[in-house]
Amino acid sequence: MREPALAMVRMHEPAQAMVRMHEPTLAVARMREPALSMVHMHEPAQAMVHMREPTLAVVRMHKPVQAMVHIREPTLAVVHMHEPAQAMVHIREPALAVVHMREPAQAVARMHGPALAMVRMREPTLAVVRMHEHAQAMVHIREPALAVVRMHEPALAVVRMRGPTLAVVRMHEPAQAMVHIREPALAVVRMHEPTLAVVRMHKPAQAMVRMHEPALAVVRMHKPAQAMVRMREPTLATCSDPKTKLPYLTEKSMESAVKCISRKFPTIDIRSNSSQMASIQKDKSDILKNLTSFYHSFVDVIEFRENVNELLASMDNCQMYLDINVNYDMTKGYLDLIVIYTSLFLMVSRIDDRKVLLGMYNCAYEMSNGSR
């Protein structure tokens, strides 16, 4: 057809007709008036385009094939795929099902097989991406400053918002803040207000780290949805073992300093107790060198406790419902975290000299660097 006008092309036998326009290999029906053109194709690798109204385009694919739907005006576009991984919406990046809406509208993309979906909205609108099997994700955008990712099963999802906003990750099950990601660095949830989402990943160095062994693993939250794991279990294990105690705790020259620190901890006045702290003043360099790892280990424990408390408070604010039958991963992760938290502080409670270690390091630090 040289002129895209009113036309009806019907094909009663396979591969007997071709509609050639500016872009070959596309079965395209262009209409000046609604419901006046239909392209039927009965063989695979072909598409059926029903044009019932000027602003409604439906592409249905019954066998493996690829199709392209271009909608230049605000409209309703629905892509139905009856076989897994059989259609691709080509925008600028292939292998991504991308729906671009230039003006407020509604777009629904349904995919029955594994895929990646990204919804980019330039103005406030409602866009829903539903994926019914693996790699499932639903993105609801009801306002320009609110994005909600709902996921039926572990999957990959990316929500990008151009302006500062609030991103909340919710699941359809009664767990309102979890993103399951099997490979790290594939999904990012950026939130300007932390403690509103929990990101669960199967590898460390992400937001919430699953630790199955009851050891000392410390999670430091430098940014929302990111974490650093520092393992210092040998340090505290040495600290709690009587056979491997530091010599500073058993030497007679340190006995007066140890008693003074134990009695006045955490407020220790070095000047008023200078005579008792003379032994620490003498060996302050060695004390700082040997006790630095112990001191930072206890600092990590305190930070870990604060992060856990913040996480539990966030879960309470989100009114999360934990049921092992309904939400297995979230419930198991919560129980694992509680076991690790309890094991950690049971281990710390067995360290009788923790006050002495912290106080001695603090005194040596002030003697070397001055009081802060």
d(C-alpha 227, C-alpha 307), whole Å? 10
133-162: pLDDT as tens digits: 333 333 333 333 333 333 333 333 333 333
Question: In the beta sheet, which residues pair with residue 53?
Answer: 56
Give the Cα separation of 362 and 368 in Å (integer): 10
In a domain, 272, yes or no: yes
Residue 353 exposure: Cα atoms within 13 Å on the Cβ side: 23
Is residue 253 situated within a structural domain? yes
Token reading at 256? 């007066």
Give the residue among 340, 341, 337, 344 at the shortest CA–CA distance from 198: 337
Assess if residue 210 is contained within a domain.
no
Assigned domain for 282 exists: yes
End-to-end CA distance of the chain: 84
Phi and psi at residue 32, to the nearest 5°: -85, -25
Q: What's the pLDDT band for 264 if we cut at 50, 70, 90?
A: confident
- Structural domain of 328: 226-369
Asked if omega into 4 is within 30° of 0 (cis), the reply is: no
Amino acid type, 350: R
Q: Look at residue 158 and tell me if it is in a domain.
A: no
Whole-number Å distance between alpha carbons of 280 and 363: 8
Which is nearest to 56 in space by CA: 24, 79, 82? 79
pLDDT for 242 equals 59
Q: How many CA atoms lie within 13 A of 181 on its CB side?
A: 25
- In a domain? residue 336: yes
| Mean pLDDT of the 93-119 span | 37
7 in a structural domain: no
Q: Taking 60 as the threshold, does the pLDDT of residue 268 lie above it?
A: yes
pLDDT tens per residue across span 313-368: 888 888 888 888 888 888 888 888 888 889 888 888 888 778 888 888 888 888 88
- Least confident interval from 36-45, 181-190, 330-339: 181-190
CB-based contacts of 234, cutoff 8 Å, min separation 6 = none
Question: Could you tell me if residue 119 is inside a domain?
Answer: no
Angle at 342 between CA 341 and CA 343, to 5 degrees: 95
Instruction: Provide the number of structural domains found in the chain.
Output: 1
Task: Compare 367 and 31 and report the one with higher pLDDT.
Answer: 367
